[in-house]
C-alpha cells in the first residue's frame, strides 16, 4: 500500500519516533506548528476518522491515552491541543489517521 505513515510504521521512511508499542507509533511532526507537535498513529492502516469501526474502539482510546501521556512527558503540563483532521474539508492531507498533539504555546479558539 502506498501510504506514507504505513511506511513510517514499517521503518521504510525515517521519523523522529517518540514512542512505539504493539498498537501505535508516536513521532514528531516534520513541519511543527508549535514547540511541541507530534502525531500519534495506529499501526493498523485506517484512512480517515470515518473509517474507524466498532472493533477499533480500544485502539482509538489507546491513541488518546498515549497522546496525553506523551504530552505530559514532553512538558505540556500547562495544557495542550489535540486534533484529528478528517477528509478534505477537515484539512486532512495524509490518509492514515493521526492525532496531532500541539503544546508549549498558547492555543487559540476558533482554530483556522
Active site residues: 98
Cβ proximity of 49 and 96 under 8 Å: no
- Interaction with Zn ion in 22-61: which residues (CB under 5 A)? 45
* Region of 48-56, 61-69, 85-93, 103-111 interacting with ligand AMP (CB under 6 A): 85-93
User: How many Å apart are CA 56 and CA 1, to the nearest integer?
Assistant: 20
State the Cα–Cα distance between residues 15 and 3, nearest whole angstrom.
14
DSSP alpha helices (H): ranges in the chain?
A: 4-10, 57-73
Query: β-strand 80-83 against 36-42: which pairing, if any?
Result: unpaired
Q: Please state whether the peptide bond connecting residue 110 to the residue before it is cis, i.e. omega within 30 degrees of 0.
A: yes
Min CB(51)–ligand AMP separation in Å:
14
Is 108 a binder of ligand AMP (CB under 6 A)? no
Q: Which of the listed partners (Zn ion, ligand AMP, none) does 75 bind, with a CB threshold of 5 to 8 Å by partner kind?
A: none
Nearer to ligand AMP, 76 or 100 (CB): 100
In the bound complex, what is the minimum distance in angstroms from residue 28's beta carbon to Zn ion?
A: 18
Question: Where does this chain bind ligand AMP (CB under 6 A)?
Answer: 4, 13, 15, 27, 29-31, 85, 91-94
Amino acid at each position: 500500500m502506498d501510504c506514507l505513515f504505513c511506511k513510517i510504521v514499517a521503518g521504510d521512511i525515517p521519523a523522529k519516533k517518540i514512542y512505539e508499542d504493539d498498537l501505535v507509533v508516536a513521532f514528531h511532526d516534520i513541519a511543527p506548528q508549535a514547540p511541541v507537535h507530534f502525531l500519534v498513529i495506529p499501526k493498523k492502516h485506517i484512512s480517515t476518522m470515518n473509517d474507524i469501526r466498532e472493533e477499533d474502539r480500544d485502539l482509538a482510546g489507546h491513541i488518546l491515552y498515549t497522546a496525553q501521556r506523551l504530552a505530559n512527558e514532553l512538558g505540556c503540563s500547562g495544557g495542550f491541543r489535540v486534533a484529528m483532521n478528517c477528509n478534505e474539508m477537515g484539512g486532512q492531507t495524509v490518509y492514515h489517521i493521526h492525532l496531532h498533539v500541539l503544546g508549549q504555546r498558547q492555543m487559540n479558539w476558533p482554530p483556522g
